[in-house]
A and B are shown apart, each in its own frame.
Chain A
Amino acid sequence: MDDVLNAFVLISNYLLIPAFAYGCQLALGALGITIVYAVLRFSNFSHGEMMSFGAMIAILLTWKFQSLGISIAPLPTALLSLPVAILVTIAMTLTADRLVYKGFRKVKAKPVIFIIASIGIMFVLNGVTRFIIGPNDQKFGDGERFIMSAREFKSLTGLSEGLAFKTSQLLTIVIAIGLVAALFWFLNKTRTGKAMRAYSDNEDLALLSGINPERVVIIAWSIAAALATVAGLLYGLDKAYKPFIFQQLLLLLFASAIVGGIGNPIGAIAGGFLIAFSEVTITYAYKKFMIYLLPDSLEPSSLMQILSTNYKFAVSFIILVLVLIFKPKGLFKGRHI
Chain B
Amino acid sequence: MKLRICGLYTVMLGLLAVVGFVQSWSLSLSILNLCLISAIMTLGVNLQWGLAGQLNAGVMGSAALGGLAVVIVSQPPVTETLNAAGWGIFGAVFTLCLSIAICVWVWRVWQPRYRIFITTAIALTGLVVYRLIFDPAVARVEAIDAATTGYLGGLGLPVILSWGVGGGLAALAAWGIGRISLGLRSDYFAIATFGIAEIIIYIIKNEEWLTRGVKNITGLKRPVPYEVDLQESQAFIEFASFWNAPLIDLSIITVKLTYAGLFVLVLIILLWLSEKALRSPWGRMMRAIRDNEVAAAAMGKNVKARHLQVFVLGSAIIGIAGAMLVTLEGQYTPASYQPLRFTFLIGVMAIVGGSGNNFGSVLGGFLIWFLWIEAEPAGFWLIDTLTQTLPETDPLRTHLLESSAHMRYIIMGVILLLVLKFYPKGLIPERQATSSKKL
Q: Which A residues have a C-beta under 8 Å from some C-beta of B? A: 42-43, 100, 103, 110-113, 115-117, 119-128, 130-132, 134-135, 247-248, 251, 254-255, 258, 302, 308, 310-311, 313-314, 317-318, 320-321, 324-325, 328
Contacts and interface: CB of A to CB of B under 8 A. Distances in A.
13 contacts: A42-B187, A103-B421, A115-B55, A120-B413, A131-B406, A132-B403, A247-B339, A251-B195, A317-B199, A317-B202, A324-B180, A328-B184, A328-B185
B12 interface: no
Interface centre among B187, B188, B205, B206 (most CB of A within 10 A): B187
A117 B421 CA distance: 9
B186 A127 contact: no
Contacts of B55: 112, 115-116
A115 B190 contact: yes
A317 B198 contact: yes
A314 B199 contact: yes
B17 interface: no
Interface string B396-439: 00000011001111111110110011001000000000000000
A19 B413 CA distance: 35
Contacts of A122: 344, 413
Contacts of A313: 198, 202
B195 A317 contact: yes
B338 A116 contact: no
Interface of B: 53, 55, 135, 180-181, 184-188, 190-192, 194-196, 198-199, 202-203, 205-206, 338-340, 344, 347-348, 351, 402-403, 406-414, 416-417, 420-421, 424
Contacts of B191: 43, 251, 254, 258, 320, 324
Contact of A128 (B185, B410, B417): B410
Contacts of B413: 120-127
B351 A116 contact: yes
Contact of A124 (B188, B190, B414): B414
A53 to B, nearest CB: 13
Contacts of B198: 248, 251, 313-314, 317
Contacts of A255: 195
B192 A127 contact: no
Q: Which 6 A-B pairs rank lowest in CB-CB distance, beginning with the nearest?
A: A123-B413, A127-B409, A124-B413, A127-B410, A130-B406, A120-B416
A279 B409 CA distance: 31
Given A100-B421, A123-B340, A311-B202, A324 B192 contact: yes
A316 to B, nearest CB: 8
A86 to B, nearest CB: 23
A311 B347 contact: no
Given A324-B188, A328-B184, A117 B420 contact: yes
Contact of A43 (B187, B339, B347, B416): B187
B338 A314 contact: no
A119 B188 CA distance: 15
Q: Is the interface of B mostly helix, strand, loop or mixed?
A: helix
B194 A251 contact: yes
A321 B195 contact: yes
A255 B195 CA distance: 9
Contact of A126 (B190, B195, B340): B340
A326 to B, nearest CB: 9
Given A43-B191, A111-B187, 12 more contacts: A110-B186, A111-B186, A117-B420, A120-B416, A123-B412, A134-B402, A247-B339, A302-B135, A308-B206, A321-B196, A325-B181, A328-B185
A308 B202 CA distance: 11
A324 B184 contact: yes
Contact of B180 (A116, A125, A321): A321
A79 B55 CA distance: 40
Contacts of B424: 113
B410 A119 contact: no
Given A100-B417, A131-B406, A247-B340, A115 B187 contact: yes
B416 A247 contact: no
Nearest to B417: A120
B127 to A, nearest CB: 8
Given A127-B410, A251-B194, A254-B191, A119 B347 contact: yes
A259 B203 CA distance: 23
A326 B86 CA distance: 35
Contact of A123 (B194, B195, B199, B416): B416
A124 B406 CA distance: 10
A128 B409 CA distance: 8
B188 A127 contact: no
Contacts of B184: 324, 328
Nearest to B343: A119
Nearest to B375: A127
Nearest to B402: A134
Nearest to A124: B413
Nearest to B424: A113
Contact of B417 (A124, A131, A302): A124
Nearest to B183: A328
Contacts of B416: 116, 119-120, 123
A320 B417 contact: no
A113 B186 CA distance: 11
A320 B410 contact: no
